[in-house]
Amino acid sequence: EVQLVESGGGLVQPGGSLRLSCAASGFTFSRYWMHWVRQAPGKGLVWVSRIKSDGTYIRYADSVKGRFTISRDNAKNTLYLQMNSLRAEDTAVYYCARDEDLGGYSNFDYWGQGTLVTVSS
């Protein structure tokens, strides 16, 4: 059974840092592109970042570029999101999602349960 389990969320002050993790199981993690998507309370879904199966082809949303860093450890089956210089507007539930990548067509076929990040003083 495919499972994605996020951790690392919590309350942080503006300007602070957090590192989110997404532990994958039930599939060959090293073969899949992965994404982070966030959802502010009561709002819609916003794509945050993407990383290819081998750790290359990294892309970010403009709103987080230069502050967030996506990475992965295929030996540990884990995806990461390092978040620095956090702002109030980064407050959201952060989801990791697997990209099924069907011949160049991306879709997010499995999602974690999400981890809440709250940026507040």
Partner 1 sequence: DIQMTQSPSSLSASVGDRVTITCRASQSISNYLNWYQQKPGKAPKLLIYTASSLQSGVPSRFSGSGSGTDFTLTISSLQPEDSATYFCQQTYSIPYTFGQGTNLEIK
Rounded least distance, CB 1 to partner 1, Å: 13
| Count of residues near partner 1 by CB under 8 A | 22
Residue 81, classified by CB atoms within 10 Å of its CB into exposed (0-12), middle (13-18) or buried (19+), is buried
- What DSSP string describes 46-82? EEEEEE-TTS-S-EE-TTTTTTEEEEEETTTTEEEEE
9 lies in the binding site for partner 1 (CB under 8 A): no
Touching partner 1, residues 19-58 (CB under 8 A):
35, 37, 44-47, 50
Residues with Cβ within 8 Å of 79's Cβ and at least 6 positions away in sequence, in order, are: 21, 22, 24, 34, 36, 51, 70, 71, 72, 96
Given candidates 54, 73, 89, 100, which one binds partner 1 under the rule CB under 8 A? Answer: 100
Rounded least distance, CB 13 to partner 1, Å: 26
Rounded least distance, CB 116 to partner 1, Å: 11
Residue ranges binding partner 1 (CB under 8 A): 35, 37, 44-47, 50, 59, 61-62, 95, 100, 102, 105-109, 111-114
